[in-house]
Amino acid sequence: MNTVFIILAIVMVLLGLLGSIVPGLPGPPLAWLGILFIHFSDCADYSVAYLLLTAAVAAVITVLDYIVPSWSTKRHGGSKAGVWGCNIGLVVSIIGLPFGPTGLLGVIFWPFVGALVGELISGKQSKEALRAAWGAFLGFLTGTGLKLAYGIFAIIVIVKALF
């Protein structure tokens, strides 16, 4: 059973890291499940307080990931169209990741372009749309950065427990 928990921990933490950039895949909660599974193995014995704290951090980051992009977009004069465009741009970048000429940079480039197009479609002038797209992009980067940080933290926890 110990091996099953270790395998589940590794799979969950890797899915959690992937979920940091893939929309619809809840990165921090999956990464936290990895921490929980490694706790159930013979490799680690975390306190209930540690498990609750890491779960709370994962929950807060997950909620912030929904709030920060909208807040940043609105702070920079954007609309829901900019947020939607940013999300659509992210999906486009992930679909085209293996094929597109931009490669990994597309994950950064296409959300910005999507937000810009969304704002232009909503009727904003180019300067206004650019500022709003920048806000959507900053919000997206902040949310993604928080999720990536938690995913990396979870990987470190798992690796330390295993070795």
The per-residue pLDDT for 69 is 78
C-alpha 13, offset from chain centre: 13
Residue type present at position 27? G
Distance CA 137, CA 127 (A): 15
Percent of the chain with pLDDT over 70: 93
Confidence of residue 109 (pLDDT cuts 50, 70, 90): confident
Name the pTM for this structure. Answer: 0.81
pLDDT digits (tens, 9 = 90+) for 139-159: 888 988 999 999 999 999 999
Are the C-beta atoms of residues 139 and 72 closer than 8 Å to each other?
yes
Distance CA 92, CA 87 (A): 9
Return all residues near 131 (Cβ < 8 A) that are at least 6 apart: 76, 77, 78
- How high is the mean pLDDT of the chain? 88
| Spans of all domains in the chain | 2-162
Confidence of residue 43 (pLDDT cuts 50, 70, 90): very high
pLDDT digits (tens, 9 = 90+) for 4-18: 999 999 999 999 999
CA-nearest of 68, 143, 133, 144 to 104 is 144
